[in-house]
A and B are shown apart, each in its own frame.
Chain A
Amino acid sequence: MVEKYDALVIGGGVAGMESALVLADAGYKVLLVEKSPSIGGKMAELSKVFPTTDCAGCIISPKIAATSKHPNIKMMTYSEVKEIYKEDEGKFKVKVLKRPRYIDEDACIGCQRCEYACPVLVPDEYNYGLVARKAAYIYFAMASPRIAQIDLDNCILCGRCERVCPTEAVNFLQQPEELEFEVKAVILATGFKPFDAALKTEYGYGKYPNVIHALEMERLLAPSRPYNAVLRPSDGKIPDKVAWVLCVGSRDKSLGNPICSRVCCMYSAKQAILFSAAQLLADLTVYYMDIRAFGKGFEEFYNMAEDMGIRFVKGKVAKIEETENNNLIVRVENFETGEIEEEEYDMVVLAIGLLANSDVIKVFKNVNVELDPYGFINQFDVNANPVLTNVKGVFVAGCASGPKDIPDSIVEAGAAAAQCIDYLYELGYKISKVETAEPEGVVSGK
């Protein structure tokens, strides 16, 4: 018997979780598939979020907990949707590849003893290599599911994890599994790809140690940060003078991304505010093309940053060079003065843009999900119904259809759930009133 669900949500970031939760709360059964070892997505990596400066973890962890505990949601992490066939309206056949963690998921209690015992150290992806993790590890502190995995590429097969595991969960012979499901609708919430800062060669990312990108800065500023301080990579000193360079990989045709990424102005202002709050005397500058503080409370937030003494300079940075002591010289044409300026900084943060992450369309085997000119999932009826794709029964939410901030992504995720419910109703899959506290899911069929 193939397991059946009312909806498949691809992507367990903030948008995917929200769509899944709304559908599940309304009484539908949802299959949520996430590629990485934990749900939470990019938001789980962030420090604090604009314009409220709430701790990102504090906002997202209740959603992570609600998603993983919801009786109507089946969550598959470390798994990838491989094939989708649309056989009919309301009938999609789905193949999911479940990658091996080399840990028995049912047995693991998340005690981390394997992690403590493992002798291998490798750069930690979650922290963008700022610190190391073990080869046997839990993805991050708030990960859900809280299950360890073994990175076999780096494992030396010493067997220490196996010996200390109290529940005998380690299994080096685990194989990938391919599972089949049938779902009635699909929501694409695959998010974005961050721009690779090294491609902007003039700025020296990857060459100059003190040029970092914004997601690295997020980790350095997060409450769960690695060193409990913002340290510059070359020598571990606390930087006094920091610059943010906006529109790196956005609004830049030469790098293939002509559009604006919507969030970089605001997250840079936020990072500067957070940095400044920890270090009152720091000298902070933001180089921008246009400050796009357009959302609710954003302009007020930007004004606050200016009032805190953060300098905003209109000018496109032409080049960054390194000095002998690993300081950085930023060369920029200041639009307000018309002068070419050179200024020395301890550290430079590149505000990298959000690129399309639309590989998911390849899994559709007999229908074509259309992309827009920038490679994002195309919004088929963008003004009247922005979450529809060109394929009936397939919906899109969050950054999968274009760069977006968290509030806009969450709102769209709710909208995708609404359109999904309407689609199911149109096909006759209605929810009946439930008398008990536990929702029971779909009762009447086609």
Chain B
Amino acid sequence: MVNDRIGVYICHCGGNISDVVDVYKVVEAVKDMPEVAVAREYMFMCSDPGQKLIEDDIKNYNLNGVVVASCSPHLHELTFRGAVQRGGLNPYLFEQINIREHSAWVHKHEPEAATEKAIRLVRSGIAKVSLARELSTIRVDMEPKVLVVGAGIAGIRAALDLAKADVEVYLVEKQPFIGGRVAQGYGAYPSGRMGSEIIKELIEELKKEESKIKLFTNAEIKSLGGTIGKFHVVVQVNPRYVVGNCSNFNDAIEKCPIEVPDEFNYGLTKRKAIYYPYEGAYPELPVIDMENCNKCGECVKICGGAINLEQEAETVEFDVSTIVLATGFNPYEPKEGEFGYKQFEGVITLPVFERLMALSNGKLTYNGKEVKEIAFIYCVGSREKDGEHEYCSRYCCTATLNASLAALEKYNDLRIYHIYRDIRAYGKYERYYEEAGKKGELFLRYVPEEPPVVEKEGDKLIVKVKDQLTFGEEIELPVDMVVLSVGMEPRNEDVFQMLRVPFSRDGFLQEIHPKIRPVETAIGGVLICGTCQAPRDTVETTASASAVAAKTETYTLKGYTELEPFIAEVDAEKCTGCGDCVPECPTEAIELKEVAGGEKKAFINEVLCIGCGACGGICPEEAINLRGYRYDQLRKMIDAMVEEV
């Protein structure tokens, strides 16, 4: 079947096109083609009167296809599809030909050649539409059910925002308690509030939404399948061994004979095998660390039925329509000997320093020794031009200044040195830099070619710096502590592999486009926020978490989403069931199924198919076509394009 009553519209684009391309000549060149019923030029096809022209022509000329030659389809394809639909025609019986960017703009100084190219492009568009078939978008129902992976500040923020808009949230956290790294931090900038307080407040809000947020802690995602609209999730909830409430948990914890380094405090303190990481941690039940528990039963004696040392893991399964990844980051762990790390006592990282502050009241002490002089070394594990981490970790400059100021306020007579490359206290955070200077903290600048060196001399650590600010003077600083301002590293979670989300060059998760679609990934229905996407501070993290919630709500509140129909299609008569296409598919959308008669045929999952065309390319029988880009269309387009003008 050939669509032989096509309307063709050549747009002047207010001179953008017509100053170069002779639009009248283009109309002349196509108006007598056998498939063309009417050809016109117009000043602005995208304007309301321009669109009305198409609508009226569809009715008056009984058109069965439309070609608009104007700007890039990125701009107005949806506009014209709308006009075609309003005129009563299937919107996929339409093609937009780009003669502005592809002709007028790039061949500005060759008007004749530009006109010839425009004619060829328009003719090929007519050829394509003449063989076009009606298509409809693939509608996918979106139940208001969302999986949020990770319950740090990003995951909690996203879960709360979604729940408040009546979305059912499954919030899955690997650790036994929620709150992530913000709960661990000391003061959060720029509010100056304690990280644990911010988390506590969010937890209070979370409790109010309990009916809509199903929280799983100590839980791992075991499998994740399906696509946008219907992901199937299997979660393994590991045993907590504390199964109910008890008024004497604190006694039970005290009686526990096991002591192990407390990971929440980076081993600065010890905890028991039954423990809370910090006061006010959530969920409110303690957890038993079975790797270290010797099942002596002391806690059971006190809390009885609340504790079950034989509890087993449970598996939970559910379906969701979208997935939010909020899996966070790891602080960079310096190599042994990097600036004296793990080589000399007193060389620690910034997150450890923040815990140390939280634990040291009155005096700042480390391993029993009072700390008076501190050197902060910046950009440890960041900005390595030819190294592992080329990127800047964004938050560390301000976090370090913030921590140093907090230390100065909490402890008397500290002497603080900052050994930095560039102080990136961007935006309003400038005030931390300014204040540190005012308070007498000293700044020394190094270049990466000549980094500072940390040595030990008697009781003191000696930091040797070639200081740029004094034009290369070699300075030796005797200090009690060296704090390494470490960057953020990407994590690699199993769920990333299960979902096949793409990574950026820096190893963090990749958004579709930082400006156009900043919270979506190339995998439909999988969104990202917080520090799994890039290094960020809490302000930027919570903003991105809310943005993810908003994007999700554009699906779930409406109840459905529509996917473009340009996917692969199998001609069952031609398909021999060879299966060559199956491994080619990057999204595992093709399956060989037995049909009546015992023969095997390829079947395409409409929702999984991304229309890449790889299967069509490999098929020896040309049995697979891409809807909207079928072989017969493409051949006719090429013929039209090479024909004499």
Q: With the chains together, A258 CA to B432 CA distance in Å?
A: 11
Q: Would B547 and A414 count as touching, CB distance under 8 A? A: yes
Asked if B135 CB lies within 8 Å of chain A CBs, one says no
Q: Would A418 and B430 count as touching, CB distance under 8 A? A: no
**Which residues of chain A from 387 to 428 have any CB-CB distance to chain B below 8 Å in the complex?**
387, 402-404, 406-408, 410-419, 421-422, 425-426
Q: Mark B183-214, 1 if CB is under 8 A from A, else 0.
A: 00000101101000010011000000000000
Stretch at the interface among B157-165, B295-303, B636-644: B157-165
Q: With the chains together, A259 CA to B430 CA distance in Å?
A: 5
B626 vs chain A, min Cβ distance (A): 24
Q: With the chains together, A434 CA to B561 CA distance in Å?
A: 11
Q: Would A434 and B558 count as touching, CB distance under 8 A? A: yes
Asked if A313 CB lies within 8 Å of chain B CBs, one says no
Q: With the chains together, A141 CA to B71 CA distance in Å?
A: 13
Q: With the chains together, A244 CA to B14 CA distance in Å?
A: 36
Asked if A128 CB lies within 8 Å of chain B CBs, one says no
Q: Would A141 and B193 count as touching, CB distance under 8 A? A: no
Q: A59-B516, A418-B546 are in contact. Are A383 and B383 (CB under 8 A)?
A: no
Chain A neighbourhood of B429, CB < 8 A: 260
Q: Would A382 and B191 count as touching, CB distance under 8 A? A: yes
Q: With the chains together, A110 CA to B166 CA distance in Å?
A: 44
A422 vs chain B, min Cβ distance (A): 4
The count of chain A contact residues (Cβ–Cβ below 8 Å) is 82
**Which residues of chain B from 45 to 96 have any CB-CB distance to chain A below 8 Å in the complex?**
46-49, 72, 74-76, 78-79, 82
Asked if B543 CB lies within 8 Å of chain A CBs, one says yes
Asked if A321 CB lies within 8 Å of chain B CBs, one says no
Q: Would A418 and B542 count as touching, CB distance under 8 A? A: no
Asked if B506 CB lies within 8 Å of chain A CBs, one says yes
Asked if B633 CB lies within 8 Å of chain A CBs, one says no
Chain B neighbourhood of A132, CB < 8 A: none
Asked if A111 CB lies within 8 Å of chain B CBs, one says yes
Q: With the chains together, A296 CA to B544 CA distance in Å?
A: 14
Which of B390, B397, B542 is the one whose CB lies under 8 Å from A386? B542
Q: Would B543 and A386 count as touching, CB distance under 8 A? A: yes
**Which residues of chain B from 11 to 38 have any CB-CB distance to chain A below 8 Å in the complex?**
14-16
Chain A neighbourhood of B445, CB < 8 A: 335
Q: Would A426 and B542 count as touching, CB distance under 8 A? A: no
Chain B neighbourhood of A54, CB < 8 A: 515
Size class of B's contact patch? 35 or more
Q: With the chains together, A146 CA to B47 CA distance in Å?
A: 8
**Which residues of chain A from 293 to 308 have any CB-CB distance to chain B below 8 Å in the complex?**
293-300, 303
Of B16, B188, B191, B428, most buried by chain A (CB within 10 Å of CB) is B428
Stretch at the interface among B476-484, B493-501, B532-540: B532-540
Chain A neighbourhood of B540, CB < 8 A: 408, 411
Q: Would B550 and A418 count as touching, CB distance under 8 A? A: yes
Asked if B317 CB lies within 8 Å of chain A CBs, one says no
Q: A251-B430, A296-B514, A382-B539 are in contact. Are A26 and B533 (CB under 8 A)?
A: no
Q: Would A387 and B427 count as touching, CB distance under 8 A? A: no
Q: Would B391 and A299 count as touching, CB distance under 8 A? A: yes
B183 vs chain A, min Cβ distance (A): 12
Asked if A52 CB lies within 8 Å of chain B CBs, one says yes
Binding site for B on A (CB under 8 A): 14, 22, 25-27, 49, 52, 54, 58-59, 61-63, 65-66, 69, 109-112, 141, 146, 251, 258-262, 290-300, 303, 314, 335-338, 372, 374, 376, 379, 381-387, 402-404, 406-408, 410-419, 421-422, 425-426, 430-431, 433-434, 437, 439
The 4 residue pairs across chains A and B that have the minimum distance between CB atoms: A414-B547, A415-B546, A338-B471, A418-B550
A-B contact pairs, 25 of them (CB 8 A): A26-B553, A52-B514, A65-B46, A65-B76, A109-B49, A110-B44, A112-B14, A141-B16, A260-B425, A290-B423, A292-B422, A294-B392, A294-B397, A298-B392, A336-B468, A383-B191, A384-B542, A386-B543, A404-B427, A406-B514, A414-B548, A417-B550, A418-B553, A419-B546, A426-B164
